[in-house]
Structure 1
Amino acid sequence: MIKLYLNDDMPQRSDPECYNANDKNPYAFEDFGPGIGETNFNEYGWRIPFLLSVVLLGVSVWIRLKLNESPLFLRMKELGLASKRPLTEAFGEWANAKMAILALFGAAAGEAVVWYSGQFYALFFLTQTVKVDPVRAQIMIAIALAIGSPGFVLFGWLSDKVGRKPVMLTGFALAAITYFPIFWGITHFANPALERALASSPVVIVADSTECSFQFNPVGTANFTSSCDVARAALVARSVNYKSEEGPIGQEAFVKVGNETISTTIANFTQHLGDAIIAHGYPAKADPAEINHVVTVALLTLLVVYATLVYGPIAAWLVELFPTRIRYTAMSLPYHIGNGWFGGFLPATVFAIVA
């Protein structure tokens, strides 16, 4: 069994069972006896929770079998009015297809972005951009979810009273207006040293803009090898904001960090750039002592509340949008494409936009 500590909380022991990981790992591990072990966990142990989720699948199927269809649907079946070709009727007829398009781009896609931003990208941002250690970040996210999740019920109920669209549009508008300030605020309160470094030692990439790609790589198979792309990716991976300046056509890119210049043509460019960034005050990770946990959790909770505003009413809105005879088919496609594609690709898309 492995017990996991943050380094600051690690008990003082001298025996070989207790060891600290290398400097790049913010954790320390203590071995208390037999268990799955790190090697076995990497090989197959991480799959166990996914396999156990089959129990949840069984529970969900059981719940679904116990549920009754709506009286309107049952009556429609009794009269033989159910659609014999729901796909063709839902998407082959323009009157229904345009409603599916509206549902996808007018609601489901936006809901996915707001929901994934508040519950998934926020964690990605905390750990990868602001460099908060993963355990601390997950705890803060969990607290924010616990505080904000009742909003799903609250705003679903409110949409019964005032309508679906006013509630959902409020969530969309608040997200569009305040996302940038909120994520700036998370940076300020979770890693103020990073914010200070961004202000005191600005970073500039000088490159031929024709070499700079939009680094959208959702499946990790694309290679961005131009000097501009290498420089951009290296800076984004280190959470370093930068400005771009146009360089001569064909010239290899270089990076200016404060008063230091690092060319992409030198050997071990990434290492030299990392050393320069650290020398100019950019932290390798967030200092736990400087994190304002209360305000950071409050900002994360606000992101969750936005998600509840758009997610709470959307199921009812989609149900009400389509006629009963094709409702199941017509609402399923835009909902799942909206969440699967727009939500699932959110981290990769945001990385490309930031880069």
Structure 2
Amino acid sequence: MSDSATANVHDHEPSAKEIRLVIAASSAGTVFEWYDFFIYGTLAALIGKAFFPSGNETLQLLLVWAGFAVGFGFRPLGAILFGFLGDRLGRKYTFLVTVTLMGIATAGVGLVPNAETIGLIAPAIVILFRILQGLALGGEYGGAAIYVAEHAPPEKRGYYTSFIQASVVGGFVLSIIVVIVCRWAIPPEEFAAWGWRVPFLLSLILLGISLWMRLKLSESPVFRAMKEAGETAGNPFVESFTYPGNKKRIFVALFGITGVLTTIWYTAFFSGLSFLRGPMRVDEQVVEIVMLIAGAISMGFYLLVGKWSDKVGRKKPIIIGAALSLVLLFPIFWGIGALANPGLSKAAEEAPVIVSGADCSYDPFADVQTTRCGRLLQDLTTLGVPYDIVGTPAGFDPSQAQGRLDLTMQVGFTLYPLGDGSKQIDWNDPAAHKAAVRQALEENGYDFSTQFPPFARLAGIVALICGLGMLSALTYGSVAALLAEMFPPQIRYSSMSIPYHIGAGYLGGFLPLIASYIVATTGNAYAGLWYTWAVVAFGLIVAWWGLRGGPPTDFESSDHDLPVSASNP
């Protein structure tokens, strides 16, 4: 900014009371907006039955996650649209629009009739509402983060903006609290039939509270100063890519910052939620309570990291968090699995499943598998049992096959011929062949009953998920401050929102879908973690190269030819 604009900023210096209101209103709005977005994922199983019914349970879940991903896919467009408005018209009024759009779209999902009533129109309408949610979310984070950052004194910017990061987790926690309360207040059969809609409709109440709080806010002092000095951007989107040094900053923000934080975040909370509910077969309400406690505890980590970054800079926490994630990601999930369902883990180790057959492939996106082997693999995937596919099973005597060699399943040392000559399975009846496969597995020690882990094991699961929460906090807690400091004020809203929402929208938003697909095609409940590992590994390299350490400072236009950093943006 020019000297006159800088002087105007000091003229508009907010009081301590104003800053408290800014943090409270921005954080509350962020909690409510992310609640709206996450309630869809929290109720994924019921949404699948209502809007994406299928004979293939795996396909049904994939369609739900595809709908989840669609919302994320439109976040970059929302970032462009609302980033333009935020840099041209102001921070305050832009995120008033985004929170209104989000609240209306979320409530709309709760009013859509199910697919049995109106057919394919139902999922189409739900997808439309997800698109509107994605557009709204694309403008929300940048507006809230910048608004707080531009009110905060430089020496406390990391700490003050960390409340925005904690509020994202807060939205997830709030969604679980509301679901738990609704499950408690509404009988199970009625909750499955219509009660799941209540959390969506409650969005209208949260919208009213958020608007009431945000209408009390004044415009950002930085934006007011630029407007009075006549220094607002003419076309923020174009200038984001033409401003000297900004292309490199956007690249680093996309892969070195957002790609890392978003994949770790969704792995910690959404993959953790799906992993416990699905392959580990832990009771749904137990899972919700576990995630609630772990999420609530983890919120504090973001504040600690944000405050720490004001002293050590923004780079160090991100590098440490990304590096530790590469080392600890798989061990943490192995530990969660061992505690959540030790019998299943032990059975998979002592009695591994080996499948051999012709045309032995599985298409998770097919409603009905065309081959017997495909149906067998679908059963194993639905049951959460890992498997390996080989040519001919060890120890099998072809002379005794009697026409049954085309499909076999070996569980430990027990061989089950399942081909044409077998009378054990009716492959035309999905329920019958799934029951037969399950019985064969149970005979060899597999336990598919709903799990209610004792308190000690639950405490261990909470501790491990909190470990994932700490990894997320290290890579996320200081990011709002870092992104605000990386880009010039006149195009800040657009410049930080575009890479943030491309990264969060595609690298993070598609994570549940991609990870679920990898698990479905490999039969390994842990295989989906490789997606997170690869994105974080690449992001660590980019962050190490593109960020420099040192005490954080405001953006200075004279630094545009220097490497991106918190000290020299």
Q: TM-score, normalised by structure 1?
A: 0.77
Once the 2 structures are TM-superposed, how far is the Cα of residue 154 of structure 1 from its aligned partner? Answer: 0.3
One-letter amino acid matched to 2:509:
G
Aligned twin of 1:292: 457
One-letter amino acid matched to 2:306:
G
Task: Say which of 497, 500, 510 aligns to 1:345.
Answer: 510
Residue 122 of structure 1: SS of its match in structure 2? helix
Once the 2 structures are TM-superposed, how far is the Cα of residue 151 of structure 1 from its aligned partner? Answer: 0.4
Question: Are residues 1:244 and 2:389 paired?
Answer: yes
State whether residues 231 and 253 of structure 1, in contact with CA within 8 Å, keep that contact through their aligned partners in structure 2: no
Q: 1:135 to 1:327 in 2, by over 3 A?
A: same
Question: Are residues 1:146 and 2:296 paired?
Answer: yes
- TM alignment of 1:171-320, pairs within 5 A: 171-206=321-356, 212=361, 215=364, 225=370, 229-246=374-391, 254-258=408-412, 259-263=414-418, 266-268=425-427, 269-285=433-449, 287-288=451-452, 292-320=457-485
One-letter amino acid matched to 1:261:
Y
State whether residues 104 and 337 of structure 1, in contact with CA within 8 Å, keep that contact through their aligned partners in structure 2: yes
One-letter amino acid matched to 2:335:
G
Deviates more, 1:106-115 or 1:180-189: 106-115
Question: Are residues 1:50 and 2:200 paired?
Answer: yes
Hey, what's the Cα distance between the residues in 2 that align with 1:192 and 1:94?
56
- TM alignment of 1:129-144, pairs within 5 A: 129-144=279-294
The answer for unaligned runs of 5 or more in structure 1 is 1-34
State whether residues 171 and 307 of structure 1, in contact with CA within 8 Å, keep that contact through their aligned partners in structure 2: yes
Encode CA deviations 1:151-191: one digit per residue, 9 max, x unaligned. Answer: 01000111111111211222222222111111111111121
Higher helix share: 2
Residue 267 of structure 1: SS of its match in structure 2? coil
- TM alignment of 1:65-76, pairs within 5 A: 65-76=215-226
Encode CA deviations 1:117-147: one digit per residue, 9 max, x unaligned. Answer: 2122111111101111111121122222232
Q: 1:171 to 1:146 in 2, by over 3 A?
A: same
The answer for unaligned runs of 5 or more in structure 2 is 1-184, 394-404, 428-432, 523-569
Once the 2 structures are TM-superposed, how far is the Cα of residue 198 of structure 1 from its aligned partner? Answer: 1.1
Residue 426 of structure 2: SS of its match in structure 1? coil
- TM alignment of 1:104-115, pairs within 5 A: 104-115=254-265
Q: 1:156 to 1:272 in 2, by over 3 A?
A: same
Aligned CA-pair RMSD: 3.0
- TM alignment of 1:5-16, pairs within 5 A: none
Deviates more, 1:103-112 or 1:276-285: 103-112
Encode CA deviations 1:59-86: one digit per residue, 9 max, x unaligned. Answer: 3334434344443332221121111211
Hey, what's the Cα distance between the residues in 2 that align with 1:326 and 1:148?
32
Q: 1:36 to 1:240 in 2, by over 3 A?
A: closer
Hey, what's the Cα distance between the residues in 1 that align with 2:218 and 2:301?
26
One-letter amino acid matched to 1:112:
T
State whether residues 264 and 472 of structure 2, in contact with CA within 8 Å, keep that contact through their aligned partners in structure 1: yes
One-letter amino acid matched to 1:240:
V
Once the 2 structures are TM-superposed, how far is the Cα of residue 213 of structure 1 from its aligned partner? Answer: 6.0
Once the 2 structures are TM-superposed, how far is the Cα of residue 343 of structure 1 from its aligned partner? Answer: 2.8
Higher strand share: 1
Aligned twin of 2:94: none
Task: Say which of 313, 318, 321 aligns to 1:168.
Answer: 318
Q: TM-score, normalised by structure 2?
A: 0.50
Encode CA deviations 1:182-228: one digit per residue, 9 max, x unaligned. Answer: 111111112111121012111113356x864675x5xxx77664555
State whether residues 283 and 451 of structure 2, in contact with CA within 8 Å, keep that contact through their aligned partners in structure 1: no
Hey, what's the Cα distance between the residues in 2 that align with 1:327 and 1:67?
20
Hey, what's the Cα distance between the residues in 1 that align with 2:417 and 2:489?
63
Hey, what's the Cα distance between the residues in 2 that align with 1:309 and 1:264?
52
Aligned twin of 1:20: none
Aligned residues: 314
Deviates more, 1:163-172 or 1:287-296: 287-296
